[in-house]
Amino acid sequence: MLEADYVIIGAGSAGSALTYRLSEDGRHSVIVIEYGGSDFGPLIQMPAALSYPMNMRLYDWGFRTEPEPHLGGRTLATPRGKVIGGSSSINGMVYVRGHARDFDHWAEQGATGWSYADVLPYFKRMENAKGGEEGWRGTDGPLHVQRGPRSNPLYRAFIEAGRQAGFEVTEDYNGSKQEGFGPMEQTIHQGRRWSAANAYLKPALKRKNVCLVRGFARRVIIENQRATGVEIEARNSIQVVKARREVIISASSINSPKLLMLSGIGPAEELRQFGIEMVADLPGVGRNLQDHLELYIQQACREPITLHSSLGLLSKVLIGAEWLLFKTGLGASNHFEAAAFVRSRSGVEYPDIQYHFLPAAIRYDGKAAAKVHGFQAHVGPMRSKSRGSVTLRSPDPKAPPKILFNYMSHEDDWRDFRHCIRLTREIFSQEAFRSYCDGEIAPGAHVTSDAALDDFIRQNVESAYHPCGTCRMGSREDRMSVVDPELKVIGVDGLRVVDSSIFPRITNGNLNAPSIMVGEKAADHILGKPLLPPSNQEPWINPRWRESDR
């Protein structure tokens, strides 16, 4: 019989961590429902192949935005993992906790108990970090985190150029000091993608009290304001998975609000339009959608030392063969091995710009590689004021939702992106890059005026694939809160949401690490265990933040 104490919808980053922790002591049974299939094979497990799975309907839900009004009507890809491990099985494997002040802001916005002091112990519990700052990092958790080898001299040039431009350098942006230029961290272990499936789900599935059920979740079944199970479609029939204690939705910031609305939880007027019976009028469901956008600022390289020479068919075969045999070589890295977090101007307390550096000139999705040797910085602001929404397209559970990020709808976003482009040019003009730079590929040296930069931004800005915020955590008194600080859905018993959709505001950097942390901390709330004691460690804040950007 399909019945367990806890039923989790989604075997992604948070759902996998939750499955592992809820089943750890053997006292509770857990069913995790996952529509996607196996993560077996080199396209997912080989780090350098990262551009393939996110472009394959086998592994990706294939969502796209509605035409974005401020980007000339472009529709942008919104990949979400449809595979065990969820988006951690198709992402870029970049590991960023977020800045301490991000979590302090959550607490200030009504997410009591989620300040940095509260969440730092959970980041430590989940990590097995190689080479991080002592005392700030976990060293025996399930999630392996490493730094890339940085053998290409361009990585060192990028970090040195940041220093020459007057910015900070940091040895560990996930330690006490995020601000600065330094090595980038990766969820890679022994040459393989270390997804939430590898770290958490597969070990949990070896336990007798855990079961993985393949199926498409259609709605949560709610009786007398209490979640009692999940209606799924499996093997061409509708079945019910019963929950004795709780149903937990961990289906992503796109699918979690969709499931709530299909279950009668959301803005009353919208649900009425689709003839969905009302369970809880929560106007915040699907609202507060946020993301990071980024641009690729590309330079031609004088020396043939970039990854350009590895893009040919023969090179790819040789790289793949070495990886298959030994799990070493260029196939064993995502090639994001240098990074930076900087502040855009004086008066900004903590970093609001992120850089990924790549010794190649190529799009994130692997398309449109430059025809010459080149390198690029991915750059974008961290705290856009633009907000979008996820809404139902139809009451049919199989219909994709309507996704509108409303990108670049706030005028400050344009100012911030223009600054990002000009700042990147300043970094590439430093002495450290003098022997490498051979002219700007994109945007192109002729693109200098505000209007020209805005045109480039409008046509070329891309999602960094960090959607979040659509089931916002906050005080029960706040009408726009969807879950309370224990992640309980307001107005319904026995139902929680545990994934990046609960973020009140987007965190600095990539979202995989904070998503897993949410799963870790949620498990203690659900089991009623004492929370880990808050940390008394103080993060580094630039003493010059009021006077200068560096």
DSSP string, 193-258: E--HIIIIIHHHHTSTTEEEEE-EEEEEEEETTEEEEEEEEETTEEEEEEEEEEEEE-SHHHHHHH
CA distance 495 to 523: 13
Residue 58 has a CB neighbour count (10 Å cut-off) of: 12
Strand-pairing partners, residue 374, are 300
Query: 239 Cβ partners below 8 Å, 6+ apart?
Result: 2, 215, 231, 232, 233
Q: Which of 213, 257, 206, 316 is nearest to 3 (CA)?
A: 213
Was 335 annotated as part of a binding site? no
**For helices 153-164 and 411-428, what crossing angle results, to 10°?**
110
Was 116 annotated as part of a binding site? no
* E strand or H helix that includes residue 438: strand 437-442
Was 129 annotated as part of a binding site? no
CA distance 497 to 213: 19
Was 21 annotated as part of a binding site? yes
Was 230 annotated as part of a binding site? no
The reply to whether 356 belongs to the active site is: no
Was 32 annotated as part of a binding site? yes
CA distance 41 to 21: 27
CA distance 197 to 108: 33
**For helices 116-126 and 100-108, what crossing angle results, to 10°?**
130
Was 20 annotated as part of a binding site? yes
Was 33 annotated as part of a binding site? yes
Was 54 annotated as part of a binding site? no
Was 346 annotated as part of a binding site? no
**379 CB-side CA count, 13 A:** 25
Was 34 annotated as part of a binding site? yes
CB 350 within 8 A of CB 179: yes
CA distance 209 to 196: 19
Was 17 annotated as part of a binding site? yes
Was 110 annotated as part of a binding site? no
Was 215 annotated as part of a binding site? no
Q: Choosing from 70, 292, 378, 466, which is the catalytic residue?
A: 466
CA distance 459 to 462: 9
Was 6 annotated as part of a binding site? yes
Upstream peptide bond of 533 is cis (omega within 30 degrees of 0): no
CB 109 within 8 A of CB 505: yes
Was 446 annotated as part of a binding site? no
Secondary structure of 143-205 in HEC code, one letter for each residue: EEEEECCCCCHHHHHHHHHHHHCCCCECCCCCCCCCCEEEECEECEECCEECCHHHHHHHHHH
Was 19 annotated as part of a binding site? yes
Was 348 annotated as part of a binding site? no
Was 18 annotated as part of a binding site? yes
CA distance 406 to 516: 27
Was 344 annotated as part of a binding site? no
Query: 423 Cβ partners below 8 Å, 6+ apart?
Result: 342, 344, 353, 379
Was 16 annotated as part of a binding site? yes
Was 31 annotated as part of a binding site? yes
Was 499 annotated as part of a binding site? no
Was 5 annotated as part of a binding site? yes
Report how far apart the first and last C-alpha atoms of the chain are (Å, whole number). Answer: 61
Instruction: Tell me the backbone φ, ψ of residue 176, rounded to 5 degrees.
Output: -70, -25
Was 24 annotated as part of a binding site? yes
Was 93 annotated as part of a binding site? yes
CA distance 242 to 226: 12
Was 14 annotated as part of a binding site? yes
Q: Which of 150, 214, 106, 129 is nearest to 506 (CA)?
A: 106
Was 509 annotated as part of a binding site? no
Was 501 annotated as part of a binding site? no
CA distance 491 to 384: 31
The catalytic residue positions are 466
Known binding residues are: 5-34, 83, 91-94
Binding positions for FAD are: 5-34, 83, 91-94
